[in-house]
Structure 1
Amino acid sequence: MLRNLLVLLIFLPLFSFSQELTVSGNVKTASEVLLGVNVIEKGASNGTTTDFDGNYSIEVRQGSTLVFSFLGFKTVEVVVNGKSKIDVLLEEDSSQLDAVMVKGFRNVIGQARRRAESVQTIAESVVSFTAEDIETKGINNIQTFTDQIPNVNFTSSQNIGNNFITVRGISQIRNGDAPIAFVIDGVTLPDANLLNQELFDVALIEVVKGPQGALYGKNAIAGAINIVTNEPTNTYRSKAQVGYANGNLLKAQLSSTGPLIKDKLFYRVSGSYKKGDGLLNNTTLDQAPDYIEDLTLRAQLKAKLSSKISATLTGQVIDTEAGGLYYAIPKDGNAKIAPDDYDNMAILADQDGVGTLKSTYGNLKVNFNLNKIKLTSLTTFNKVDRNAFGDLDFTAADVLRQDQDSNTKTFNQEIRLGSLSDEDSKINWDLGMFYQNLDKTLITTATADFGFFSPPFAPSGIQSPLAIGDFTNTYRTLAIFGFIDYQFTDKLTLSAGLRFDNDNISQDNRSEGTNPERTDTQLQPKFSLAFKATENMMMYANYGKGYRTGGFNQGQTVRYETSFEPEITDNYEIGIKNSYWDNRFILNISAYYTDFSNQQLYALVLDGGAGQILIGNFNIAESESVGFEADLRVRASNWLDILGSYGVSKSRIINGTSTVSTGTNEIIDVSGNSTPLVPQDSYNLGLESSFNVSDKITFNGNINLEGTGEMYWHEDNAAVSPRYSLLNARISFTFNDDFSVALWGTNITDTQYITEFFDQTFSNGGSDLAWLGQPTAFGTTLTYKF
C-alpha cells in the first residue's frame, strides 16, 4: 500500500491540467542579481519573490500583467502576453535614494521554512549569510561561520571528519549523530563526518536553532544548518580562485555554469583543491602533524522537462588525507595536566598519524509545479569511508597503536508536497514521507608491543592485538511529517508541525557474535506563534519536541551498557525581533529552556581488556539547559557596519551517575554538575566596511573578535578550560566587478587554546590528552569572475 501511495504522489501532477501559464525569469540590476524582489500578478492575490540567484517562477492567468517592485528601485510592469520567460532589469530610483541617505540591510533573507523570506518575519532564532556575506567574510567551511553565532560551537579533533557541534547545550557525541540536520539544497546529509567539508559556490548559509524535525528531518534535535548552493543558469558564468597561506597551504577553486541546450538543459561544475604542510609541531618526529590534502568535485545537471516539471541531478566526490591522532600530552612526564597549562603540552607521538575520508554522493531532485502546489521527489545515495591510523600511547615510545574504520552507506527517498510561494496567501504548508536505510560500520583495533610489559622492558618491534571492535549498526527509518503556517490577521501568525519517526535498529556484532534488534518510535510536535506588535517589531514564542536516535555499542564495559537510549527534549523559546531606522538597526533577542530525557554522552576506555570495545555511548537520566541570545546589526553609514552577538548557555545534569574507569571502577553521582562539552557563553564583535574607492575599485573589510566561554570536559566537572578569544580579519579590493585580491588572517594574536580534553581518570589511559587549537594563519586569495 505504501508503494502505491508513493507512486501516486509522484505521478499525480502528470494527470492534472491547468488553465494557467507558468512564467519564470531573472531580475537584476546593471551590476548584480536581486534577492527578494516582489513579483505580483496585477489585480490578483498571487505573488512570489526572487531567490538567491535573482530567479522567480509564478503561475499566472493568460494575458495578465506582472509587477516587479523592490525598495530603492523603480517599479516595472510587464504584460505576459503568452510569454513563459520574462527577464527584468531594475533601475535605481533616485527619488527614493535621496530620501534614504543610508541604505539598510537589504538581503536579510533566509529559507528556514523552505521559502525565501525575511529572517525578521520567521518565528525562530535564525542567522543567515547571503552570497555577499560568504564572499566578503571568506567563509569556506562550517568553522568559519559558526564562530559568529551565539550558543553555537564547532570543533574538530583526532582525525579528518571527527567533528563536534554544540547548539544551545545539546552536544554531539563521538561516533554518534550530530544534534543538527546538515542540509544541502534540501537534502539532509546523514553522516556527521561530512559536516566540515569545503564550502564553495554557495548562495546561502543559515543556522536555525531549536528542534526542526518537521521541516529538516531526522535528528534535528537542536536545529539545522541549511546550505543552498548556486544553481545551474541559462547564461555562461565562471569563477576561478587561488590562494596561498602560511604552512605552505595552497588552495584553488573553480566553478562554471551555463546552458547545454538553451532554456532547457543547464550544467554547473565546481571543484576545490587544497594542500598544506601544517602549522603545529611534533617534537619527536620534528614535523608538522596537521598536514592536509583535499579534493572536492561537484557537478549538476538541471533539465526543464516542461513548464511544470524540472529535474536536477547532483553528484559530489570528496577525497581527503590529513594528519591525525596527534594528541598533546604533559611533556614533563607526569600523568596529569591542567587544560590551560599550554606550556606543558607537547605533541610527542612516535607515529605519523594519518586520517583519510572518501565520500561519494548522488541526488536526483524532481520538481512538479501545479495549481500553486509543488511536489518534490528526492532520491539520495551517500557513501563515506573514513580511516584513522596512528599512535595510541601518544609518547615517543612505540608501545601502543590504533587503527579505526568509521564507514557509512545511506539510501534516502523523500516525497514532499508543499504550497508555492505566494506573497498574499494566508496559508503555507508542507507535508511528506521519508525513508532511510543507513549502515554505520565501526572497526577499531588497538595493538601493543608487549616487550614493554615484561623483562627486559624493551620494544620487540612486534605489535599484537590488544582490543578489537567490529560491528555494523543498521537504521531503517520511516517517517511522515507536516508543517503549516496560517496568518490569522495581519499581525498574528500560527505555525504547527508534526513528525513521526519509526526507527528499526539492528546490529551485526562480529566481535561478540550477537545480533540485537529493537524499534524506537517518536512523535515530535512543534508549535509557534508570531505577533507583529508594530511595523518594526515582531514577538514570537514556540515549543517543540526533539528526538535523536539511540543505538548499540559493541558490548558492555565499566562505563556503558550494550546499548544507549534515544534522546528526547522538550524545548521552549520566546523572542523578539526588531528592525528600525529603515532596516539600519536590527536587534534580535531570544531566551530558551530545554528539558532532556536520556541525554547522550560519550565514554572512552583505552584499556580494552579481554576484547572490550574501546568507545561507546551512555545516557544521563535527566538534564536541562537554559540560556539567552542577542544578535545586533547596525549600519552606521553606507560604508560601516557594526555587528555583535552574545549567548549564554547553562546546562546541568539534574539526575545522573557515571563510572570512573580507573582503580575500583567507582560509580559517582554527577547530579547538579554542568553538562560536558557546552561552552558557558560565547560572543562575537565585528566591524565591516564596504565602499567604492573609485568607479572601478571597491573595498571590503571586516574584523571579528570571537569568544568561547568556559567548558567542562567531563561529567565530574574536574577539568575545565578557561575562556579564550580569537581575532580574525580580512580585507579585499575588487576591480571592475570581476577581479579581486584579498588578504586575511585568523587567530591573529596567536592565542593558545584546546578543542578537546581527555582526563585519564575517565579513560584508564596513561595520561591526560589535549587537542591543540590552530595557531596564527594568514594568507592571500585572488578571484576572477568571467
Structure 2
Amino acid sequence: MRQRAARHATRTSTIFTFLGAGLCLGTPTLAHAEEAAGEAPIVVTARGRPEAQIAVPDTITVYTQDDIARRKLTTIDDFIAATPGVFLINDQDPGTNMISVRGVSTNRNQSPSIAYVVDGLALADSELFTLRTYDVARVEILKGPQGALFGRSASGGAVDIATNDPTDEAGGMASLGMGNGFTWTADGVVNAPVSERVQLRLAGSYRNSDGFIRNSYLDRKVDGFTSRNLRLKAKIQTSETSTLNLRLAWADEDGGAAYISSENVTGRNGGRLSGAILTDPQGDFEGRFARKWWGAQATFAQDLGDTLQLTWSGGYDNYHKDFSEELDFRHDTPVTLDGVALFPDGIQPISQPVDIEAWTSELRLTSQGSGPLRWHAGVFFQRLERDRTDDLGPLLFGAEPQRAETRSNQIGLFAQASYDVLPTLEATLGLRYDRDRRKEDTIGTDTATTYARRAQTFDKWQPKLSLAWRPSKDFTAYVTGSVGFKAGGFNPLPGPSDIWTANFAAETVKSLEAGIKGQLAEGRVRLSLAGFVTDYSNFQNTVFLGNSVVLSVPKVNVHGLEASAQADLGQGFRLDGGAAWTHSRTGTYITPNPTPEPGEPDLVDLTGKRTPNAPDWTLNGGIGWEGEAGPAKLDARLSVAYVSRVDFEIDNILHTPGYASVDGRLGIELGAWNLEVWAKNLFDTRWAISAFGQQQLPLLLGLGPNGPFDSFTINTGRQFGVGATHRF
C-alpha cells in the first residue's frame, strides 16, 4: 500500500518580521578560543582580500590549522559535519556527492550548488570535491548565494580551502596512525627553502582500510579503500614586487562502492530508516570504484606601485573514475520484475565511468592598502569536458550503452567595491556576469551513433549589496542581499513514457540576510546570530528514475536562523557551539506520479514538502581543555553533533530520524612529538546516509522475488585510533 507524507505548508511569520526589522542574522565561526583571545583577529579571504572575520558582512565558518588538528578533521565530510546549516550526502562512490547549504543541494551529474575553491581557483566538477584534504592551512565555508564573487554554481554558498605554502624555514613532519577496521594512515611534509627567493614544499597522504561495513551474504567487508596523495608546491620570488606560486598534485584511490542495503522500508516501517530495518548489505555483487586525478596550478602576483596588485591564476585538472555495482542489491536469483524472471543472474554489472578535463583561469586587479575605498575586478574562464557512460547492463536488454559528452565554456566578469560611507558604516557592492555555453552529445559506445545533440547558453547578472555598521572593533551589524544562479543542463534522453524532460532550466536564487557579530571580554567570548530568507526558482531536484535525472521544482521557500558562541572559560577550558534552523519547503508543486498504481492519480501534489537532504536542525557543540602534566602539554576535546530528520526524496517518505554522534580526542605534546587517541561516533550510533525509495523508482517497486524493496546505505559506525607525529 502506498504511503505519502502529510502535506505541510505552514510558514512562520515571526521570522519575517524579525528579519524585516534587520535585528537578526550572524555568522558562526568555529575558530578556537585561543585565537579568539589572541592579539591578532581571525583572518579570512571571503571577499577576495585578507580581513578580520568579525568585520565581514557574510555568514562564514572558519577552521584554522589548530581547529583541524584538535577536531581531527581529515576529509571534507568532517568539515561539513562540524558546520551547522550544511549537510553532505556521499552516495554510491566517493566522487558522487551532494552538498546541501540552507536547504538546497547539488545534483549528482550536473552543475553543483557550491563553489569549491582550492588555493584560489574554483574546481570545475563536484567529482573533485571529495579528493582528500591534507596539509591544509585554512578552510572557510560561506553560506548563502556567493555568485557576485564566485560565479555560477555558488547559488548555495562556497567552500574555500587554502593549503600550506612553502616557507623560508627548513623542516617538516611525519605522522603515522592506526585504527579499527585495520586502518593505517601516513602523512608527511617536507619544507625546503632552496634559496632566499625559492622555497619548495612536498606533502603526501596515505590511507588504507579494510572497511567497517560487512556484506552479510558475501561475508566480508565491502567499504575498504586505499588513498594515495602527493602535492608539490613552489614559491618563487621573481622580483622585489612579484611572486610566482606553482602547485602540482596527484591522487590515486580505489575501494568498495555501492555497499547498499535492500529492505521494504516503506511497507514495513513507513519509510523510517532506523532500528532493525537498518540491515547490512546482502547483495551478491561487490561494488568497486577506482579514480585517478592530477592537477597543476600557477599563480603570478605583481605589485603595481603601492596601490594595486595584478594577479593571474591558471589551473588544469585531469580525472578518471571507474565504477561498477549491481542494481538489485539482492542475492535472490532469478531476479524478477513485476513477477517475470527477467534477470537470471541479477541486475549486474552496472558501470558508469567518468572522465573529466578542465582548464581554469582568472585575472584579477586588486586595490592595496586600507583606505576608505577597497575594490577588485577581474575576468574568469573555465572549460570543462566531461564524459559519462551509462552502461546499465541487463537493463539495456541488448541495446548499446550511451555516453554523455558534456562541454561547458564559462566566462565571468566581476567587480566588487567597499566604501566607508562613515567611519562606522561600510557599503559593499558586488556584481558579476556569467555566461555558460553548454552542449552535450549522446553517443553510442559500440556504434558511435549520435542519438542526440543538445546545446544551450545560460547567463545571469548576479549582484550583491551589503551594509555593515561597526561602532567598534568588537561589534558588527549587517544586512546583505544577493542573487545567485546555477546553470541548467541535460537529462538522459527520455523515453515515451518517462516523466522528465530532455533539458532542464537554470536555477535562480534570491536571498536577504541580516546579522550581528560581537566579542566580549577582550575577545575571549564571541557571539553571533544569523537569519535569512531565500527564494529559489526552478530548484533542480535530483531523482533516480532508472538513472539520475533532474525535475525542476518551480519554487522553494527557505528561511532560518543560525547562531554560534565560543568562549575561553579560563583554566585552559574552551567552549563552542553552533545551531542552525532551516525551514526549506517546496512551493506549489504538482508533478507526474513516477510510480502510478491502478486507481491512483497520474499527478501528485508535493506542495509544502521538505527539500531532500536538508534537515531542519543541525547542532554542534564541544568543550576543550589545554593544560600541562610535567613536561607534557595536554589537549583534550569532546564534541557532539545532532542532525534532525533527513528526507532523502521529495515525497518525504524514505527518511532517517534525528540522530546524534559524539567525538573525542586527547592529544599529548612531548617536545617534537605529538601523540593522540581519538574516536568518532563514540557510541556507535547507526543511521542511513542515503536512500532511494520504491515510491520514486519504478524498478524497486516491481523488483522481486519478495519485493518491493527500498535501497539505502548505512553509516560506518564507530571509528577510533591512535597516532604519532614527529616534527623536525
- The normalised TM-score by structure 2 is 0.88
What residue identity is the alignment partner of 2:259?
Y
Question: For the residues of structure 1 that align with 2:596 and 2:91, how far apart are their CA atoms?
Answer: 28
2:667 counterpart letter in structure 1: S
Q: Deviations over 1:716-769 (max 9, x none)?
A: 222332110010111100112x21000000011111101111111111123201
- Greater shift, 508-517 or 130-139, is seen at 508-517
8 Å Cα contact 1:160-1:356 kept in structure 2: no
From the superposition, tell whether residues 465 and 583 of structure 1 become closer, same or farther in structure 2 (CA, over 3 Å): farther
1:595 to 535, 546, 555: 535
CA drift of 1:466 comes to 6.4
> Equivalent residue of 1:582, what SS?
helix
Partner Cα distance (2:649, 2:139) in 1: 32
The Cα of 1:657 is off from its aligned counterpart by 2.8
Equivalent position of 1:546 in the other structure: 484
Amino acid at match of 1:413: S
* Equivalent in the alignment of 2:357: 409
Question: 2:414 matched to 1:481?
Answer: yes
Partner of 1:373: 308
Secondary structure (helix, strand or coil) at the match of 1:400 reads: coil
Shift of 1:140: 1.1
Aligned-residue offset at 1:655:
2.2
1:488 Cα offset (Å): 1.8
Corresponding residue number in structure 2 for 1:125: 59
2:462 is the alignment partner of 1:524: yes
Q: 1:99 maps to which residue?
A: none
- 2:710 paired residue among 747, 765, 768: 768
C-alpha change, 1:510 and 1:137, in structure 2 (3 Å) is same
Deviation at 1:692, TM superposition (A): 2.8
Post-superposition Cα deviations, 1:457-514, rounded to whole Å, max 9, x if no partner, equal xxxxxx9646733211111111101111111222101111011011111111114622
- Which residue does 2:289 correspond to in 1? 355
CA contact (8 A) 1:336 1:768 kept: no
The letter for the 2-side match of 1:479 is: G
Partner of 1:782: 724
- Secondary structure (helix, strand or coil) at the match of 1:346 reads coil
Per-residue Cα deviation, 1:639-695 (whole angstroms, up to 9, x for no partner): 11111111001111112233333245932121222222211110011001112334x
Q: What residue in structure 2 maps to residue 21 of structure 1?
A: none
| Alpha-carbon distance in structure 2 between the residues aligned to 1:107 and 1:321 | 41
| Contact kept in structure 2, 1:160 and 1:357, CA below 8 Å | no
TM-score (norm 1): 0.81
Tell me how far apart the structure 2 counterparts of residues 226 and 510 of structure 1 sit (CA, whole Å).
36
1:670 and 2:606 correspond:
yes
SS of the residue corresponding to residue 655 of structure 1 reads: coil
1:514-539 superposed Cα distances (whole Å, 9 cap, x missing partner): 21111111000001110014453210
Match of 1:707, as an amino acid? Y
Q: Pairwise mapping of residues 568-647 of structure 1 onto structure 2 (< 5 A)?
A: 568-606=508-546, 614-647=547-580
Distance in 2 between residues matched to 1:119 and 1:341, nearest whole Å: 40
Aligned counterpart, 2:639: 704
Structure 1 residues 542 and 232, CA, compared in 2 at 3 Å: closer, same or farther? Answer: same
1:259 aligns with 2:193: yes
Q: State the SS of the aligned residue for 1:338.
A: coil
For 1:410, give the aligned amino acid. Answer: A
Aligned-partner SS, 2:353 = strand
Q: Which runs of 5+ in 2 are unaligned?
A: 1-33, 333-344, 445-449, 704-708
Go from structure 1 to structure 2 and tell me whether the alpha carbon gap of 1:333 and 1:619 turns closer, same or farther (over 3 Å shift): closer
Query: How far apart, CA to CA, are the structure 2 residues paired with 1:508 and 1:335?
Result: 43
Q: Distance in 2 between matches of 1:516 and 1:780?
A: 53
Identity of aligned residues (%): 24
Corresponding letter in the other structure for 1:352: E
Alignment partners' CA distance in 2, 1:356 and 1:528: 45
Structure 2: distance between partners of 1:134 and 1:114: 23
The match for 2:382 among 420, 427, 436 is: 436
> Which deviates further from its counterpart, 102-111 or 223-232?
102-111
CA distance in 2, matches of 1:182, 1:479: 16
2:175 is the counterpart of 1:241: yes
Superposed displacement of residue 340, structure 1: 2.2
Q: Is the CA contact (8 Å cut-off) linking 2:184 and 2:209 kept in structure 1?
A: yes
Distance 1:160 1:328, change over 3 A: same
Q: 1:386 is paired with a residue of what secondary structure? A: strand
CA pair 710-106 structure 1, distance change in 2 beyond 3 A: farther
Of 507, 522, 528, 2:440 maps to 507
Counting only pairs closer than 5 Å after superposition, residues 60-459 of structure 1 correspond to structure 2 as 103=37, 108-260=42-194, 262-330=195-263, 338-344=271-277, 345-371=279-305, 372-397=307-332, 398-401=345-348, 402-420=350-368, 422=369, 424-448=370-394
For 2:39 and 2:721, locate their aligned partners in 1 and report how far apart those are by CA, in whole Å.
Answer: 29
Aligned to 1:556: 494
Question: What displacement does 1:105 show?
Answer: 8.2
Q: Secondary structure at the match of 1:144?
A: helix
**Structure of greater Rg:** 1
How many Å separate the matches in 2 of 1:532 and 1:778?
45
Post-superposition shift, 1:400?
0.3
Distance apart, 1:634 and its partner CA: 1.1
Partner of 2:475: 537
Letter in 2 for 1:192: S
Determine which of 616, 621, 624 is the counterpart of 1:685.
621
Shift of 1:335: 8.5
RMSD between superposed Cα atoms in Å:
2.1
Distance between the aligned counterparts of 1:167 and 1:221, measured in 2? 9
Q: Does the 8 A contact of 2:231 with 2:247 survive in 1?
A: yes
Q: In structure 1, how many angstroms separate the alpha carbons of the residues matched to 2:415 and 2:433?
A: 9
**1:470–1:554: 8 Å Cα contact kept in structure 2?**
no
Question: Partner residue of 2:16?
Answer: none
- Contact 1:160–1:321 (Cα < 8 Å) also in 2: no
Q: Distance in 1 between matches of 2:363 and 2:274?
A: 53
Work out which structure has the larger RCO, using CA pairs closer than 8 Å and 6 or more positions apart in sequence: 2
Paired residue type of 1:183: V
Answer yes or no: is the 8 Å Cα contact 2:284–2:331 preserved in 1.
yes
